[in-house]
Amino acid sequence: MTAAATAAFLAPPAALAGAGGKVRPAYCAGRWYPKDAEALAARVDDLLKQASPPEPAGKPVAIIAPHAGYRFSAPVAAEAYAALRGHTFHRVIVLAFSHQHSLMHRGIDVPKHLAAYSTPLGELPLDRQACETLLANDLFSSRPGLDRGEHSLELQLPFLQRVLGEFRLVPLLVGQLEPEEHTRAAAAILPLLDGDTLLVTSTDFTHFGPNFGYVPFTRDIPDKLHALADGAAAPIQVADFDGFQAHLDKTDDTICGRVPVALLLRILSMRGGAEGVRAAFDTSGRLLKDWSSSVTYQSFVFTDRKGTLGTGERETLLRLARETAQAYLQTKPRPKVDRAALPEKLLEKACCFVTFENQGRLRGCIGNLRASVPLYQAVTGNAISACRDQRFAYDPVTVEELDSIDIEISYLTPMQPIDRPEDIVVGRHGLLIVLDRASGVLLPQVAYERGWPREEFLAQVCRKAGLPPDAWKRPEAKIYSFEAEVFGEGE
């Protein structure tokens, strides 16, 4: 950034309060991070310059960053924020919480009469339309003063300002949520997640020592704190909501932002999962060389899961599915396919499902679980079968309706036996359960779009097989998982 650009950036912006809203002051400046604008900009820029984050596999969709005083956790945070360089976002949703009121606060706080957040680097305008949209949901409310003096959200803002420049902020303070409320809250936030919206979650990790009331071990403290951090990181990196909750239940890990993290994982799982990488790790025990009391810091970067089919291959399969369905409904022969013109990937034997929906209403969904024909033939065959799905025998798809049908294809990975149900990740896995002569299968999106917890997913697959909902627990039940590359028309 040139000197002129830096001066312009540090210059006080036009006051947003005069535009009809209040500005939240920078309560923590001068205590948790530098109060002087030039010193703060230089500090953040230096940390970003020194950072060497893992190369993300695409544009980041979310990060997790710590929020201790900058002398402690800012280098760890910088590793995640540095991964945002070169990307643009017009909106940032920050999932934070109130340290003072977190145990008494239920639901999610959204500022109602606030126009901006202030830091020494300037004022950050709020996305008022997004805030009002969330406030229309009964899980979201506005509690004036809840964020007074709170640092978990504020400490993220200077990094965002230096990396992203201009954007609109949606500041959320997440209180206590029941398990099903995570799903409801995620469903409310999901419509805001266009390709230019970033999710930021603020949390420190294990708070160890008598001062925090958490002393699960007294020997090999550095190694055991690292192992505890690894235990939390494992489900986080695959957006495994159930796995993260299991880690908390097993260890009582004192992660201060556990509820915002859980909400992030539910959001990511309900949009089809994500690939997460740990960007950095450190502890205050190492920094201070005092292990009697220590706080763990971790940061993560998340990107969308990548498929193996290219855009052209997906478009070809969707075109073949539609043309085949149209020919079938018009009682015409299947369209001829020039195998020589098809990409090699489409000639490999594979499993897939073809789904028909009309304005969100299921009209047919049929697939093959045995890879006996090339992928393109599996798609065309399943497209015909979806037209005559027996569940809609009295109301079948017609050729007149076809123009209103959206076609979705789920390209499946091979089935893998599951020995431990806890290895199932909602948002990533589909399931097949076989018991005696009964079997049931559900695609990954059936579970993640509904925000089912793992055990509900297992129960629903059993019901699909005509079995009792807890039949998956029987020793003779066989459980298989698979992943699906899901794509549809209009994407």
pLDDT digits (tens, 9 = 90+) for 372-424: 999 999 999 999 999 999 999 999 999 999 999 999 999 999 999 999 999 99
Question: Cα separations (Å) of 273 from 56, 139, 277, 449?
Answer: 15, 23, 13, 11
Task: Report the range of poorest mean pLDDT among 16-30, 75-89, 285-299, 471-485.
Answer: 16-30
The per-residue pLDDT for range 30-44, each reduced to its tens digit, is: 999 999 999 999 999
- Is 350 in contact with 376 (CB distance < 8 Å)? no
Query: 187-208 burial string, b = 16+ CB within 10 Å, else e?
Result: bbbeebbeeebbbbbbbbbbbb
Q: Tell me the pLDDT tens digit for each residue of 68-109.
A: 999 999 999 999 999 999 999 999 999 999 998 876 788 999
User: Do residues 205 and 296 lie in contact, with contact meaning Cβ atoms separated by under 8 Å?
Assistant: yes
Q: Does residue 145 carry a pLDDT above 90?
A: no
- The H or E element spanning position 410 is strand 405-412
**Domain architecture of the chain: domains with CATH:** 3-303 (3.40.830.10), 311-411 (3.30.700.20), 416-487 (3.30.1490.150)
Mean pLDDT over the full length of the chain: 93
pLDDT, residue 9, reads 34
Range from 51-65, 411-425, 471-485 carrying the lowest mean pLDDT: 51-65
Q: State the Cα–Cα distance between residues 186 and 181, nearest whole angstrom.
A: 8
The pLDDT assigned to 18 comes to 37
pLDDT at site 314 = 97
Partners of residue 65 on adjacent β-strands = 202
| CA-CA-CA-CA dihedral for 97, 98, 99, 101, to nearest 10 | -130
pLDDT, one tens digit per residue, over 349-361 is: 999 999 999 998 9
Instruction: Give, in order, the Cα–Cα distances in Å from 169 to each of 13, 66, 165, 183.
Output: 16, 18, 12, 22
The pLDDT value recorded for residue 105 is 80
Residue 3, pLDDT score? 40
**How much is the pLDDT for 13?**
38
Buried (b) or exposed (e) across 334-370, using 16+ Cβ within 10 A?
eeebeeeebeebbeeebbbbbbbbeeeeebbbbbbbe
Q: Return the pLDDT at 73.
A: 96
pLDDT at position 2 is: 38
Mean pLDDT of 211-235: 97
Give tens-digit pLDDT for 436-458. 999 999 999 999 999 999 999 99
What is the model's pTM? 0.91
DSSP assignment of 189-220: HGGG--TTEEEEEE----EEBGGGTB-S-SSS
Residue appearing with tokens 């970067």: 301
